[in-house]
Chains A and B, each alone.
Chain A
Amino acid sequence: MNFLLLAAENATQLPLAVSNGTNWFLEHAWIVPLLPAVSFVIILFFGKRMPRKGAEVGVAAVALAFVFAVLTGVAWINHRDNYTPPAASESALVIDGGEIAPDQVVPAAEEAPTKGEVVTEGGGEAEQPTVAIHKSTTWLRNGGVAFDAGILVDGLSVLMLFMVTLVSLLVHIYSTDYVAGDRRYTHFFAFLSLFTAAMLFFVLSDNILQMIVGWELVGVCSFVLIGHWWEEKANSDAAMKAFITNRVGDIGLLVGVIILFFTAGNGSFDILTINSNIVSGGVSHTALIVAAMSLTAAVMSKSGQFVLHTWLPDAMAGPTPVSALIHAATMVVAGIYMVARLYPVFFEGMQIGGSSINLLAVVGAVTLVLAGLVAFVQSDIKKVLAYSTISQLGYMVMALGVGAWTAAIFHLFTHAFFKACLFLGAGSTSHAVHSFDMKKDMGGLRRWMPHTYLTFVVASLALAGIFPLAGFWSKDEILSGTGGWGLFGGTGGNGAYTFMLAMGILGAALTGAYMTRVIYLTFHGEFRGHGTPHESGRLILVPLYVLAGFALLAGLINLPVGFITGNNSSWQERFGHYVQPVAGYFPDIAQATPSYSLAIVSSFVAFAGIGYAFWYYFVKLDRLARATGESLTELPDGLVANSAVARAGHTLLVQKYYLDHLYTDIIVGTTKGVIARAANWTNQNVIDGAVNLAGRWSVKVGRFTYDRIDQPLVDGLANATGRASNSLGDGFRVVQTGKVQQYAALLFAAAALLGGALVVVLSL
């Protein structure tokens, strides 16, 4: 009842968002998710009867969605460039306070968060605020309040539309060849469509309830596609693990959303309302930190952060295009997107602006290093890439934790391309050798697969953060965003996160090294598999080249201030300019300035990592292999062979820090085994036992009444006695159905007596 009267209509008011008159494509962005959703239904019901088994519908729908997404992007750029905020008086945010129950936090309505005042960025140029586009319609009514569903279109969601539709389109095209001949080909495309629709629905959500729906729907698509080949138990186990681990994180999501609903939203799920209420400073800090930490749990499961990441490597059991699309480029960044979307919750709740060590930053920093280490001991190429994904997601989470919002989203963007390229490349190699095991079945593939090799190397360099590929720019921006580079002569940022900077630089070395290892084991040395590998077809190579092209160039769209172009603002930081909101629903975060010395140091470290791995594999191992004539995958007299400490460390990594043992054997095993069985035993023997005992006793009482009271007095029922006494002591089981009336009468008589007595007592 407390939230009966809370109006939440303010979201559509200026200056946060407008709902009309800007641009057709912005207002109709909901068409983008609708297209693949329709495609899902069509493929599901008619796909099998089509000439190409439904794939054509999926490709066409996603291609059209991509076109729409591009046009929406263009429209947003236009809107961003041409929007002029209304006069300050009009732009004041009015919160329709209504009657607010006493235990609700009252937002400071007067302190309207008009960012009409101009925010100064690092470059000294003024950033104009821009309103988002918000359209909604009533979804349900509850407690007398209407709750809306709708779309929220701003730079962030437009970016995601572009990225998701592009990668999805490429993966669709790739799959027409890669999955060809699969027995569930149609089903596969149906779920690719559904996934795309759900992800787009998620990123366009204008409220956190809708976000939950999208979040869970992408999860279930992931479940279905991981378990695509469910005949094998290992695959269905992986799918279950993914779903249930995510459910654990979802506890945090549910709790966090509920807290935000009541505290920051004042009875509204609306994202703009929640964010602007927090930005204007009316929300209890305690509530925010609890909400932020709960939501972090959800990020840890969805975006594969320690300690809830263990499902993601197992998720590689699914088909490779699924790994590329869902478990590298899009779904796993849902957690990152959620933090970015609700950034005020984290920024204020975790006091990111105050350089305090916070959960988000620590989780990200720890994840990026620990996952990078495990990547070294994997022999399955997809598992290396999976751990690499976890590590890169760690970078993004860490960036959000230190206040480098744009850097995190920029990395999300560039990572989608080079990691999708790597996964699809790995798929291309496995297409040739029918295995993902680098040590057993690969080696020397560059001779047969030059195109795959080339694109794979480009994407690897981008991942390793080598100048001037995409990963260099985004990773460097994260590193400078940590603000921990005082020693490198930079300024700005949200505080000095030196530990995060150190982990980030260490991660750069690890990334370079493990990718060098992968390239050697896969493409160099002698071929260790069977048969003769072959290069993949055009439908596979074209997506690889497109993605490699993005891996090469995507970084250039956010050149740091002053790089090459001087202060020409039409080239520098375009990404941040169009994507990062400058509006009342976004916190006032400080922008870091780039530091050349830091860029040089981190590049040097990345080269060092690559160099060491190069020396180990390409020089020493290769030389030994040539000398012995065998195809080797590791040095026989390496560190692990010689040092007990290294061996222990190696075992720890191979066992993946023993987390799987803890979860599968100890936690799940105990719950399913001892605890569940104990509950069932209690149910049968204690609770039901009591019921049966009561039943048995009432039978006895009944029989006693019958034998000792009824029988001596009433003669007519004598022939029933024999039957009744035979069944003595066996409770309900032996009672004849014909006796029901008798017991019913007994119970009712007792109840009536009790009732009479109670009424008498009560009326006294």
Chain B
Amino acid sequence: MTDFLNTWGLTAVIFVPLIGAAVMMLIPEREEETHKLIALLTSLLTLGFVAALMIEFDYGDAGTMQFVQDKGWIDVINSRYILGLDGISIPLLALTVLIVPSVIVYSWHHIPHPGNAKAFLILNLILETGMVGTFLAQDLILFFLFFEVVLLPMFFMIAVWGGEDRRYASLKFFLYTLFGSALMLLGFLALFFLAKDPVTGAALHTFDMRALTASAGSGIVHSTQLWIFAAMFIGFGVKVPIFPFHTWLPDAHTQAPTQGSVILAAVLLKLGTYGFLRIAIPILPGAATTWAPWIGLVAVIGIIYGGLACLAQTDMKRLIAFSSVAHMGFVMLAIATMTPFGFNAAIYGMVAHGLITGMLFFVAGSVKERFHTLDIKRLGGLLISVPKLGWILGIVTMASLGLPGLAGFWGEFPAILAAYNPANGLSPSIFRTFMVIAALGTVLAAGYLLWLYQRVGMGEPSEEFAADPGITDVNTREWLAWTPLLALIVVFGFLPGLIFNVTDPAVVQILDNCLQNADGCTAVAQSALGRG
């Protein structure tokens, strides 16, 4: 088993969903139950592989890439098939392979209009391949490939199974992200041509992320680094999304089917922040240091702006979408501090936001299914009409506003804490200002989330739904799909070490590497700050 995992483990995790999808293609569309079963088993098998990997994983050495695979791929451009798993990837990988079966279970009786379980579930599995691959790839071209693979299934999910305005939303999502990706690819190409070996000074001509991280931007002039970083910043930033590149998100979320919203919120947004942690900052720490205050600035603008926009929403899904902008602002602020506390908080925030906002969209979907509306004004009294659903919404709302004892807190508070003392070379006074603004954002979060809950959960249910027999409480499928997420929200709230202890060695490793190999670039960054 160990041998298999070492040689094939990561490849298996990536391609099992694709194989499942291929099998499903051969089966006629009318065999719906078979499709559901295959999709579920495939995703559970993937989950099983990840569980095996997590058992075999050497947590004492979580800073090192494990189960590495390195094979020739596109020799012409020296791009290789490199996969690896370390402490940063593990929580995100686990989140992904947990969300997908959850979504499939939820889909059992909830294939959105216009139906076609086969196509819908195949798209889910292809998405899984793309997401998993992104978190495992250690070659920039391979990373880019998976990053883009994610795009198409999601596009179709929104465009075919979405709401009334689905075409506009799906196209906007697709083109906006593609625009970012194009710039990101630009950055990757520039790295290929410009990165040099720190010792010999020879051009690397590689897309190997490990080698590029080790060189940490040496040999690239600081001003050039800034441009490359900016290109990647837009590429990843659109995906996060960072203010002001966020406007695709509310539209995509509002129009997407529940399953699409869940995957989008839970995993897709993390591809962007992961890109910062894994690629942009470790490979170009010098440029990152110069850009960090600006990233911090747009992050805290996102926190406040997202919160204010939430207060003005009348649609539950749209409100949750804007809350994502605010929450991802905390993640970006944490990343901008470039400290271990910040990076750990960012990863925690990503996982917590994935679980919590994923759950929020699940609940919104179930509300929509029962009440046929998400208009906050018309809803009300969920605690009376569907008490269990109301309770779940309550718990998830509390988690989302960062209540200690639930998962959200451990992404939020350490992020604020990290901003007090950012990395060397960053101005503490600027970041302390950000800290206070971010802390203000927690009040806004409490405001809009409790307001939502008061209107939707509390009070008396309105007359129009009083006699509707279709309004029933949480059913078995929903419990099956949600229980793991809800349990993790609570468990991660009380045992933050479960994630922090895994990510910390890898985070420390990456940041140490930045400092050691980037003596030059820190100095460059400092002089750049001095000039600025």
Q: Which of A259, A262, A740, A762 contacts B190 (CB 8 A)?
A: A762
Question: Across the two chains, which residue of chain B brings its CB closest to A261?
Answer: B417
Question: In the complex, what distance in Å separates the CA atom of A676 from the CA atom of B443?
Answer: 14
A contact residues around B508 at 8 Å (CB): 4, 143-144
Q: Is B339 within 8 A of A230, CB to CB?
A: no
Question: In the complex, what distance in Å separates the CA atom of A138 from the CA atom of B171?
Answer: 49
Q: Is A143 within 8 A of B446, CB to CB?
A: no
Q: Is B496 within 8 A of A254, CB to CB?
A: no
Q: Which of A117-162 touch B at CB < 8 Å?
A: 138-144
Q: Is B404 within 8 A of A216, CB to CB?
A: yes
A177 within 8 A of B: no
Q: Is B497 within 8 A of A236, CB to CB?
A: no
CB distance from A417 to the nearest CB of B (A): 29
Q: Is A762 within 8 A of B224, CB to CB?
A: yes
Q: Which of A1-23 touch B at CB < 8 Å?
A: 1-4
Q: Is B247 within 8 A of A758, CB to CB?
A: no
CB distance from A308 to the nearest CB of B (A): 12
B442 within 8 A of A: yes
Question: In the complex, what distance in Å separates the CA atom of A237 from the CA atom of B424?
Answer: 46
Most chain A CB within 10 A, of B168, B175, B381, is at B175
Question: In the complex, what distance in Å separates the CA atom of A750 from the CA atom of B246?
Answer: 23
A contact residues around B440 at 8 Å (CB): 251
Q: A220-B403, A247-B442 are in contact. Are A212 and B458 (CB under 8 A)?
A: no
Q: Is A758 within 8 A of B186, CB to CB?
A: yes
Question: In the complex, what distance in Å separates the CA atom of A105 from the CA atom of B305?
Answer: 36
B contact residues around A139 at 8 Å (CB): 495-497
Question: In the complex, what distance in Å separates the CA atom of A744 from the CA atom of B178?
Answer: 7
B contact residues around A141 at 8 Å (CB): 497, 500-501, 504
Question: Across the two chains, which residue of chain B brings its CB closest to A215?
Answer: B404
Of B291-299, B308-316, B481-489, B523-531, which binds chain A?
A: B308-316
B351 within 8 A of A: no
Q: Which of B227, B305, B339, B454 contacts A143 (CB 8 A)?
A: B339
CB distance from B330 to the nearest CB of A (A): 12
B460 within 8 A of A: yes
Main SS class of interface, B: helix
A639 within 8 A of B: no
Most chain B CB within 10 A, of A3, A237, A262, A751, is at A751
B450 within 8 A of A: yes
Question: In the complex, what distance in Å separates the CA atom of A695 from the CA atom of B251?
Answer: 15
Q: Which of B312, B344, B460, B495 contacts A677 (CB 8 A)?
A: B312
Q: Number of A-B pairs whose CB atoms are under 8 Å?
A: 197
B515 within 8 A of A: yes
Question: In the complex, what distance in Å separates the CA atom of A759 from the CA atom of B188?
Answer: 11
A contact residues around B182 at 8 Å (CB): 747-748, 750-751
B451 within 8 A of A: yes
Q: Chain B interface: which size bin?
A: 35 or more
Q: Is A691 within 8 A of B439, CB to CB?
A: no
B211 within 8 A of A: no
Q: Which of A212, A213, A247, A744 contacts B446 (CB 8 A)?
A: A247
B contact residues around A254 at 8 Å (CB): 413, 416, 439, 442
A24 within 8 A of B: no
Question: In the complex, what distance in Å separates the CA atom of A3 from the CA atom of B311?
Answer: 38
As a 0/1 sequence over residues 359 to 393 of chain B, the CB contacts with chain A under 8 angstroms (1 = contact) are: 00000000000000000000001011000000000
Q: Is B309 within 8 A of A244, CB to CB?
A: no
Question: Across the two chains, which residue of chain B brings its CB closest to A102?
Answer: B424
Q: Which of B172, B186, B420 contacts A258 (CB 8 A)?
A: B420
Q: A216-B405, A737-B167 are in contact. Are A240 and B435 (CB under 8 A)?
A: no
As a 0/1 sequence over residues 105 to 117 of chain B, the CB contacts with chain A under 8 angstroms (1 = contact) are: 0000000000000
Question: In the complex, what distance in Å separates the CA atom of A143 from the CA atom of B190?
Answer: 32
B286 within 8 A of A: no
Most chain A CB within 10 A, of B167, B193, B247, B420, is at B247
Q: Is A142 within 8 A of B414, CB to CB?
A: yes
Q: Is B171 within 8 A of A231, CB to CB?
A: no
Q: A140-B496, A759-B189 are in contact. Are A240 and B171 (CB under 8 A)?
A: no
Q: A231-B460, A732-B172 are in contact. Are A675 and B308 (CB under 8 A)?
A: yes
Main SS class of interface, A: helix
As a 0/1 sequence over residues 205 to 241 of chain B, the CB contacts with chain A under 8 angstroms (1 = contact) are: 0000000000000000000100100000000000000
A600 within 8 A of B: no
Q: A142-B504, A143-B339, A217-B405 are in contact. Are A230 and B171 (CB under 8 A)?
A: no
B185 within 8 A of A: yes
B contact residues around A3 at 8 Å (CB): 341, 421
Question: In the complex, what distance in Å separates the CA atom of A1 from the CA atom of B442?
Answer: 25
Q: Is A740 within 8 A of B439, CB to CB?
A: no
B436 within 8 A of A: yes
A contact residues around B479 at 8 Å (CB): none
A233 within 8 A of B: yes
Question: In the complex, what distance in Å separates the CA atom of A16 from the CA atom of B161?
Answer: 64
Q: Which of B146-174 touch A at CB < 8 Å?
A: 155, 159, 167-168, 170-172, 174
CB distance from A227 to the nearest CB of B (A): 7
Q: Is B447 within 8 A of A212, CB to CB?
A: no
Of A278-286, A481-489, A680-688, which binds chain B?
A: A680-688
Question: Across the two chains, which residue of chain B brings its CB closest to A231?
Answer: B460
Question: Across the two chains, which residue of chain A brings its CB closest to B416?
Answer: A254
A636 within 8 A of B: no
A243 within 8 A of B: yes
A755 within 8 A of B: yes
Most chain B CB within 10 A, of A4, A212, A732, is at A732
A270 within 8 A of B: no
Most chain A CB within 10 A, of B185, B381, B413, B423, is at B413
Q: Is A763 within 8 A of B193, CB to CB?
A: yes
Question: Across the two chains, which residue of chain B brings its CB closest to A733?
Answer: B168
Q: A217-B405, A695-B172 are in contact. Are A231 and B450 (CB under 8 A)?
A: no
B183 within 8 A of A: yes
As a 0/1 sequence over residues 93 to 128 of chain B, the CB contacts with chain A under 8 angstroms (1 = contact) are: 000000000000000000000000000000000000
Question: Across the two chains, which residue of chain A brings its CB closest to B231?
Answer: A758
B140 within 8 A of A: no
B contact residues around A750 at 8 Å (CB): 182
Q: A247-B442, A258-B435 are in contact. Are A691 and B458 (CB under 8 A)?
A: no
Q: Which of A1, A250, A258 contacts B423 (CB 8 A)?
A: A1
Q: A141-B500, A230-B458, A231-B460 are in contact. Are A250 and B442 (CB under 8 A)?
A: yes
Question: In the complex, what distance in Å separates the CA atom of A693 from the CA atom of B472?
Answer: 44
Q: A240-B450, A751-B183 are in contact. Are A251 and B172 (CB under 8 A)?
A: no
Q: Which of A236, A668, A733, A743 contacts B459 (CB 8 A)?
A: A236
B contact residues around A762 at 8 Å (CB): 190, 193-194, 224, 227
Question: In the complex, what distance in Å separates the CA atom of A215 from the CA atom of B404?
Answer: 9
B511 within 8 A of A: yes
Q: Which of A240, A247, A679, A688 contacts B451 (CB 8 A)?
A: A240
Question: Across the two chains, which residue of chain A brings its CB closest to B318?
Answer: A680
Question: In the complex, what distance in Å separates the CA atom of A301 from the CA atom of B470?
Answer: 44
Q: Is A680 within 8 A of B497, CB to CB?
A: no
B contact residues around A4 at 8 Å (CB): 340, 508
Q: Which of B171, B193, B312, B383 contacts A676 (CB 8 A)?
A: B312
The 5 A-B pairs with the shortest beta carbon distances in the complex, nearest first, are A751-B182, A143-B340, A680-B312, A676-B311, A679-B308
Q: Please name 6 further chain A to chain B contacts, defined as beta carbons within 8 Å, in addition to the given A679-B308, A762-B224, sorted by A numbering.
A: A144-B508, A231-B384, A231-B459, A244-B447, A679-B309, A762-B227
A-B contact pairs, 25 of them (CB 8 A): A1-B511, A2-B339, A138-B497, A142-B341, A142-B344, A143-B508, A216-B405, A216-B409, A231-B460, A233-B458, A240-B454, A251-B439, A258-B435, A676-B312, A683-B247, A683-B309, A687-B244, A687-B247, A732-B175, A735-B171, A747-B179, A747-B182, A751-B182, A758-B186, A758-B190
Interface residues of B (CB under 8 A from A): 155, 159, 167-168, 170-172, 174-176, 178-179, 182-183, 185-186, 189-190, 193-194, 224, 227, 244, 246-248, 305, 308-313, 339-341, 344, 381, 383-384, 398, 403-405, 409, 413-414, 416-417, 420-421, 423-424, 428, 435-436, 439-440, 442-443, 446-447, 450-451, 454, 457-460, 495-497, 500-501, 504-505, 507-508, 511, 515
